[in-house]
Structure 1
Amino acid sequence: MNFNLMYAYMLRCSQYADHFCSANWPVTETQINPQPVTSIDDQNKKYKRTWKKNQVEEIFSRATKHCIETGRNIEDLTIKDFEVLARDCDQTPEQVMNKVNEIHQSGTLRPGIWSQSEDDLLKDLLRKGIEKWGQIASLLNKEIHKGLRIRTGKQCKERWNNYLNPDVNRGAWTDKEDLKILESYKQNGNKWSIIAKSIKNRTESSVKNRIKSLLNKIKQDLTAIDDISSGIDKLINKKRQNMIVISENSSASPKSGYGVTKKSFSELSKVISQSCAKESFDS
């Protein structure tokens, strides 16, 4: 028998014998297998969570309301105030204090979903002739968000162009539009603003998404010997052929009513009625 294994076995038995002696009786599970001491960080682990947007807005709203009720500024709040604000919150008072001070100093909250009041004010400002998006964002923040920089000029521009502008075409893309943006893409590359000017009533964002969709389709249809440029050329030729076929079909198809216009139809009705009246008179 291996001497080392025998020694380890005897040592283990002696440890259990010490636990079962009268001085240590009764023995508990924790004495046999003691658990590691929980650190302070482990105890506070439930507080170490990332801030969600609605939590940030709610806690800052609480802080401003608390300042109004107590007649103080945010800079004057103490840790005791933040202990009150941190109630029913997943963060510690220190974390709440740091977050509120961070928002107060930067004046910025993470933007959320656009509200109806924001959309209405954005439309009103544009109707008044204000064209600078930075100025629009500043007025919107001052009126609705109490001066906090919630909205930027870029966000206001994208909101108007992508969702609110009634002149923007959000319908299905035609072969003619696809042809124009593909030809412009070959010339200008990823300059989306320039490409968007080649067609009317389409936003820069929609043009970008449409081109990427077409490029993905081209990549799927590519053969081993083709490259992306030749794939674009093939799709351009296909769009042109589709437009020619549609044009030929529309010119070759008979007119509505087999060439009978409203005027000719009224004249024909008059002749028929006169003929019917004559037949009834003869009879």
Structure 2
Amino acid sequence: MEDLTQEKYLAAGIPPQSQSRKPGLEKVMDPQPVFDLKSRKGSGKLAGKVAVVTGGDSGIGKAAAIGFAKEGAHVAIIYYDEHIDAEATKHLIEEQDVRCTLHAGDISDEVFCRKAIEDAIELHGQLDILVNNAAWANRQESILDISAEQLQKTFAINIFSMFYLTKAALPHLKVGSSIINTSSIDAYAGQTGQVDYSTTKGAIVAFTRAMAKELAPDGVRVNGIAPGPIWTPLVASSHSEKEVAEFGKSTPLGRPGQPVDLTGGFVLLASADGAYMTGQFLHINGGAYMSS
């Protein structure tokens, strides 16, 4: 994959587009998200570790999973039903001479979450890193338009799943293990049209900080990443064509982020480089705070 400079990012732009299918599919996005760079070389920071990544079939989760693989970690990807995207990601991970397993299902179901963790342990023998990343969104112009059904679904996928997966993973974690939760700039700045989504992302911040305190005596670190506007299938499936065409342009850097822009953050929090970090959030948002 060719490395992209800032100038190429800005020149490429994003044409108007939208996807009716939720969650969205990476394979039909134009341009394709950038999830890896040729210049990014691993140095064995996660050699022999095993990571479970939700939503690892595409977008931010895919970038994190490939970043872990480049550092020597084996990966279990939990995803919903985007089988083509998942198989493509598995192939890229296995090119790094590590193992990758796929676990399809609905993370809003606690029974599935327990089974997915159990299957990952059975296939990989251990668990060192849990990335709670998968999310769902459905834009509504007003809170008056958010039905009880949508509210419950957003919370079930975005935050309840983190309780389920963390509870299932805890017996297998040990000193030096890491949990990384994906929140959003929306937790801090808010977002019109996504009140329920923004609220779940705020809950993730509180969950992360509470779990960091709870697990610190056990030597397990819990941190998070709060991305700004990142070009992922979730964007294409939850925004209008006009919104997509303008996506990320208002940031000081003038472009949406790419999933690969978050890879270094995930590796930092998963590895010994972040050994003195817990209860923290990395804000990777192109300077969006300064323009909000």
TM-score normalised over the length of structure 2: 0.18
Q: Quick check: which has more Rg, 1 or 2?
A: 1
Greater strand share, structure number: 2
**TM-score with structure 1 setting the length:** 0.19
Higher RCO (CA < 8 A, seq sep 6+): 2
Structure number having the greater helix percentage: 1
